[in-house]
């Protein structure tokens, strides 16, 4: 991840702009084609379009307005968990925001979402050294009885360790999964640690446990637990599950290390209510020549309820909306349509992503490419793709235009993101404008995910990258091919 | 505040040790005497004693054991607000800890303490953009009714701004004091900001306000509000008061800045209960020749209830206990008695400090000097005094022995600390081994004041400084004189 000094960045952008303006063949020649690409070794992107992309990026770097969008969503709406009053307020906000930023065909597309309420969460170590702890329910957890659950604690450091236990070893116990997450720029530490959050409760329940505590999946040292969805298996009792903050997990581990039996009492009032109605909020910059062809930019409008969802994902929505505003203000719109989708309910089951793929099944063949911003407020440092082999030449040309932003080319195994996952599995090419996630998991899914964690200019470089990418993707004379479908159903 | 590299520090300590051992007159000569000092320009401290002090410091730097003390108090007791079950457990812990560390005459000296319970705290901005906020009651606040208090918010940026308002301007309003604290190494930003916490409620109540919210007095960006004591004036109605976390204060300020009326609902269940019994926990290293003369090392055993009181003040107790342990393990005890006092209830009215001064009134003349550790886990960077003018020569000699620890000499206007304040006002000389407080107010009085905020070796340098100081003060052939008494009553 190459850091780029601000002065250098401005120079590089200026150089890209000037070179584009003078159409200097040497600077604009596409990079050497990857061996697996079938594209001819000539420039696909017009010099004027490269120059326009660089100018869009420069405009974003000079002040994209993205921070103002993030501020508005966090100050005027705040927490917006699927099905909540905040979620409904967010849809109203989204419709107004998209119209206000100059998008067209602005609309709410209904999505049925699950409606879970966190309620209150309390926990106490009751022996050997009584102390209250800071914890929160995992998303989707059932509540406890009014008296709570009181039981002895068994500490485990992995799901694998649990599977090695005799089948009755956890009978009547509270399992404490003590798995520490590693801090990495690409966020891969999250994937390695998060399994106990999703599957820990059911795996423990199958072995007789009555509740599960996990060390928060996060990289900070604050007494603010990280929530996130669990998934109950069909073949296991549904037991309550909660996350302890890091310092509280330390405390529980220290008491376990004392060698004396550790007892805990857990009280959760979480509950699942009836399904609710939310919406994907959609708007467009209609294409100049091929309006039916779609370049999709996504983010998610919902958030967890603990914070105001600043990094997750007001930041992403701010990035794609700022990019779309810049595209909409061009004197000549791009050739294809750029569609912005603020997806409903990413956090608690991807309802919006699935609903979009289903509602737009007939036009998925016209979705040229999709990108998503859902990684916080860090700078974009890598441009990875998952496109057809014959489109790698075009991808490399786009990567070359993004390079002055301090973005290195990635491979062709991009995931794209959770909300465009159903599209990818149905054959739509995707790209990942990967953001630096080094600090993201300090606040992810916590009460600390608030506006102050985003610097006023942090979102300008990501907005520049999304604007330049979207413009080139919408203007390119060729497309990104199709991916081999992994499924024929978005569900 | 001179930072000292670890390698250099070890070398400096070693040099001090070797020089002391060889009694090289050049290195051991006292520094130039301050002009106001009447002490003669010859060494008061024996070369052997300087060498012993350096060896004590070196032993502490090599592993003082202080962190283990802080860990034990936070893991085995945790929160210990005056009058609570944790407070009682802390006294039991303290008696055992002092005995275990080899102190003598270990005892609990009863102290009557006020007993306030925080209860629960909830707050919501209800207009223009409804959102819950994170807040906590200020220490001593009355609660609200069960329905809470709902009123319009008036934002003020100082107590002075409040005093300029017409007398009825705040009638029925909730006052929001939005005063930001500055981060400084010596913690002086705290003193400049904290006035609204102590006096804001009564000042606002005198002008008709129904409740007070303050921006937390702290330097962090976490959604963990900072508590701390308020003081109700006799001539004002007692209205509820709470601290918003920094990000929540930002949110409230942003909604106020929208120009639309801002409404708030506050619900506190805080209440004052009947007085309770706690104790100062006292132990000694009896003096070899003058056991009736006392060098007092203090800290406070109580903590606020939100965290486990790791920095405030398990760290301080760990520092003075580690120092005392080292003194107690000397083959030849110091000439005077070193007395350690773990004071009861510093946080909510200094009950232990007042009770100690009252109970020991008859022997205060034998208190040669007092020092206190209540500034967290930062390194000691300055040695300031408040001693009689004729003792400045001795103070300068002690400062010279502390210098290799990276400690610079301060002036003779030291405050000493809150718990030894009554002693100082009654004429007992004090010193301040000032710790770096740059990061202290990130966690001070919050749920984040937990063990993980202290590094395993952080307390060794402060323990070294306290051990070396206490040894030299207990061994010195002369004393620190007396201060002019400011009062004749500890109350």
**If you average pLDDT over residues A125-134, what whole number do you get?**
98
Cα A196 from Cα A249, distance rounded (Å): 14
B131 and A247 within 8 Å at the Cβ level: the answer is no
Set of chain A residues whose Cβ sits within 8 Å of the Cβ of B86: 131
Q: Is the pLDDT score of B9 beyond 60?
A: no
B134 and A453 within 8 Å at the Cβ level: the answer is no
HSE toward the beta carbon, residue A134, CA cutoff 13 A:
27
From the list A77, A224, A247, which residue is nearest B223 (CB)? A224
Closest to B303 in 3D by CA, of B142, B83, B95: B83
* Weakest mean pLDDT among A1-15, A257-271, B404-418: A1-15
Q: Is the pLDDT score of A169 beyond 50?
A: yes
Set of chain A residues whose Cβ sits within 8 Å of the Cβ of B450: 223, 247, 250-251
B447 and A223 within 8 Å at the Cβ level: the answer is yes
Domain chopping of chain B, boundaries: 6-114+275-475, 119-269
CA distance B256 to chain A (A): 11
Closest to B327 in 3D by CA, of B21, B49, B103, B15: B103
Question: Given this model, what pLDDT does residue A187 score?
Answer: 86
A448 and B223 within 8 Å at the Cβ level: the answer is yes
pLDDT, tens only, A78-100: 999 999 999 999 999 999 999 99
Question: Given this model, what pLDDT does residue B41 score?
Answer: 58
- Residues of A classed as catalytic: 346
CATH topology of domain B119-269: Glucose Oxidase; domain 1 (3.50.30)
Percent of chain B residues past pLDDT 90, beyond the cut: 88
Q: Which of B203, B284, B293, B346 is catalytic?
A: B346
Question: Given this model, what pLDDT does residue A2 score?
Answer: 36
> Mutate which of B180, B247, B252, B258 to disrupt the A interface (most A C-beta within 10 Å)?
B247
Cα B195 from Cα B206, distance rounded (Å): 16
The token pair that represents A185 in the structure block: 């720029």
Q: Is the pLDDT score of A290 beyond 70?
A: yes
Question: Given this model, what pLDDT does residue A29 score?
Answer: 38
* Long-range contacts (CB closer than 8 Å, 24 or more residues apart) made by A5-14: A9/A61, A9/A404, A9/A405, A9/A406, A9/A461, A10/A61, A12/A404, A12/A405, A12/A406, A13/A54, A13/A57, A13/A58, A13/A61, A13/A404, A13/A405, A14/A58
Starting at the earlier edge strand, list the strands of the sheet with B430-435.
B104-117, B271-285, B336-343, B290-300, B367-372, B430-435, B380-386, B408-409
Q: Is the pLDDT score of B61 beyond 50?
A: yes
Residues 6+ apart with CB under 8 A from B421: B350, B353, B415
Question: Given this model, what pLDDT does residue A35 score?
Answer: 46
Phi/psi of residue B156, nearest 5 degrees: -130, 145
The helix (H) or strand (E) run that includes residue B47 is helix B47-61
Percent of chain A residues past pLDDT 90, beyond the cut: 88
**If you average pLDDT over residues A215-239, what whole number do you get?**
97
Q: Is the pLDDT score of A63 beyond 50?
A: yes
Residues 6+ apart with CB under 8 A from B231: B140, B198, B199, B202
Cα A212 from Cα A191, distance rounded (Å): 20
pLDDT, tens only, A400-439: 999 999 999 999 999 999 999 999 999 999 999 999 999 9
With both helix axes pointing from N to C terminus, report the angle between B392-402 and B47-61 in degrees, rounded to the nearest 10.
Answer: 40
**If you average pLDDT over residues A353-380, what whole number do you get?**
98
Specify the CATH number for B6-114+275-475; select among 3.20.20.70, 3.40.50.920, 3.40.50.10800, 3.40.630.10.
3.40.630.10
**If you average pLDDT over residues A233-252, what whole number do you get?**
98
B452 and A78 within 8 Å at the Cβ level: the answer is no
B313 cis-preceded (ω within 30 degrees of 0): yes
Question: Given this model, what pLDDT does residue A129 score?
Answer: 98
Cα A214 from Cα A195, distance rounded (Å): 11
B452 and A246 within 8 Å at the Cβ level: the answer is yes
Closest to B409 in 3D by CA, of B429, B393, B395: B395
Reported CATH class of domain A6-115+275-475: alpha beta
- Predicted model pTM: 0.90
Q: Is the pLDDT score of A8 beyond 70?
A: no
The token pair that represents B264 in the structure block: 């708030």
Question: Given this model, what pLDDT does residue B185 score?
Answer: 85
Question: Given this model, what pLDDT does residue B15 score?
Answer: 37
Question: Given this model, what pLDDT does residue A346 score?
Answer: 98
From the list A75, A131, A254, which residue is nearest B251 (CB)? A75
Q: Is the pLDDT score of B130 beyond 70?
A: yes
Please state whether beta strands B104-117 and B271-285 pair in parallel, antiparallel, or not at all (unpaired). Answer: antiparallel
Beta carbons of A309 and A116 less than 8 angstroms apart:
no
Q: Is the pLDDT score of B339 beyond 80?
A: yes
Task: Provide the 10 A C-beta neighbour count for residue A72.
Answer: 19
pLDDT band at A491 (very low <50, low <70, confident <90, very high): low
**Mean pLDDT over each residue of chain A, to the nearest integer:** 92
Set of chain B residues whose Cβ sits within 8 Å of the Cβ of A307: 223
> Mutate which of A247, A314, A445 to disrupt the B interface (most B C-beta within 10 Å)?
A247
**Mean pLDDT over each residue of chain B, to the nearest integer:** 92
DSSP conformation letters of B77-106 = T----TTSHHHHHHHHHHHHHHHHTT-EEE
Cα B121 from Cα B140, distance rounded (Å): 13
Distances (CA, A) of B226 to A65, B125, B216: 33, 19, 5
Cα A125 from Cα A184, distance rounded (Å): 32
Question: Given this model, what pLDDT does residue A487 score?
Answer: 77
Q: Is the pLDDT score of A9 beyond 70?
A: no
Beta carbons of A396 and A37 less than 8 angstroms apart:
yes
pLDDT band at A4 (very low <50, low <70, confident <90, very high): very low
Question: Given this model, what pLDDT does residue B186 score?
Answer: 87
Closest to B406 in 3D by CA, of B10, B31, B19: B10
Cα A390 from Cα A28, distance rounded (Å): 20
The residues on B that touch A, with CB distances below 8 Å, are 71, 74-79, 85-86, 129-132, 134, 221-224, 246-247, 250-251, 254-255, 258, 307-308, 447-448, 450-453
DSSP conformation letters of B423-446 = HHHTT--EEEEEEP-TTHHHHTTS
Set of chain B residues whose Cβ sits within 8 Å of the Cβ of A221: 448, 452-453
pLDDT band at B12 (very low <50, low <70, confident <90, very high): very low
A451 and B251 within 8 Å at the Cβ level: the answer is yes
A75 and B254 within 8 Å at the Cβ level: the answer is yes
Question: Given this model, what pLDDT does residue A94 score?
Answer: 98
CB pairs below 8 Å between A and B: how many?
A: 84
The token pair that represents A418 in the structure block: 């959770």
Question: Given this model, what pLDDT does residue B167 score?
Answer: 82
Closest to B102 in 3D by CA, of B322, B266, B278: B322
pLDDT, tens only, B233-269: 999 999 999 999 999 999 999 999 999 999 999 999 9
């Amino acid at each position: 991840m190459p850091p780029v000094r601000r002065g250098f960045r401005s120079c590089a952008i200026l150089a890209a702009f000037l070179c584009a303006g003078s159409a200097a063949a040497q600077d604009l020649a596409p990079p050497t084609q990857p061996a697996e690409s079938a594209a001819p070794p000539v420039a696909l992107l017009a010099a004027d379009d490269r120059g326009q992309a660089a100018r869009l990026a420069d405009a974003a770097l000079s002040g994209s307005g993205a921070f103002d969008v993030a501020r508005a969503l966090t100050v005027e709406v705040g927490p917006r968990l699927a099905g909540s009053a905040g979620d409904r307020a967010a849809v109203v906000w989204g419709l107004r925001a998209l119209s206000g930023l100059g998008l067209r065909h602005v609309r709410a597309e209904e999505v049925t979402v699950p409606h879970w309420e966190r309620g209150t969460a309390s926990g106490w170590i009751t022996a050997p050294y009584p102390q209250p702890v800071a914890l929160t329910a995992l998303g989707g957890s059932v509540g406890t009885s009014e008296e709570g659950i009181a039981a002895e604690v068994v500490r485990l450091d992995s799901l694998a360790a649990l599977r090695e236990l005799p089948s009755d070893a956890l009978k009547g116990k509270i399992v404490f999964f003590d798995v520490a997450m590693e801090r990495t720029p690409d966020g891969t530490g999250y994937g390695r640690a998060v399994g106990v959050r999703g599957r820990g409760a059911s795996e423990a329940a199958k072995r007789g446990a009555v509740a599960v505590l996990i060390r928060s999946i996060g990289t900070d040292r604050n007494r603010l637990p990280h929530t996130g969805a669990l998934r109950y298996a069909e073949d296991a009792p549904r037991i309550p599950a909660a996350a302890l903050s890091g310092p509280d997990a330390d405390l529980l581990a220290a008491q376990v290390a004392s060698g004396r039996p550790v007892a805990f009492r857990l009280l959760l009032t979480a509950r699942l209510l009836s399904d609710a109605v939310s919406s994907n909020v959609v708007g467009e910059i209609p294409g100049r020549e091929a309006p039916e062809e779609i370049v999709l930019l996504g983010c998610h409008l919902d958030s967890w309820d603990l914070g105001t969802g600043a990094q997750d994902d007001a930041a992403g929505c701010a990035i794609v909306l700022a990019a779309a505003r810049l595209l909409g203000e061009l004197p000549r719109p791009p050739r294809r349509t750029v569609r912005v989708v603020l997806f409903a309910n990413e956090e608690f089951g991807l309802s919006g992503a699935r609903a979009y793929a289903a509602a737009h099944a007939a036009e998925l063949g016209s979705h040229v490419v999709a990108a998503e911003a859902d990684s916080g407020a860090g700078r974009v440092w890598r441009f990875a793709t998952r496109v057809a082999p014959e489109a790698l030449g075009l991808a490399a040309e786009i990567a070359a235009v993004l390079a002055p932003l301090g973005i290195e080319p990635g491979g062709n195994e991009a995931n794209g993101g959770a909300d465009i996952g159903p599209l990818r599995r149905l054959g739509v090419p995707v790209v990942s404008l990967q953001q630096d996630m080094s600090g993201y998991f300090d606040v992810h899914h916590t009460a600390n995910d608030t506006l102050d964690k985003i610097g006023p200019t942090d979102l300008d470089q990501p907005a520049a990258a999304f604007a330049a990418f979207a413009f080139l993707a919408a203007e390119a004379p060729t497309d990104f091919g199709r991916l081999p479908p992994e499924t024929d159903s978005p569900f």
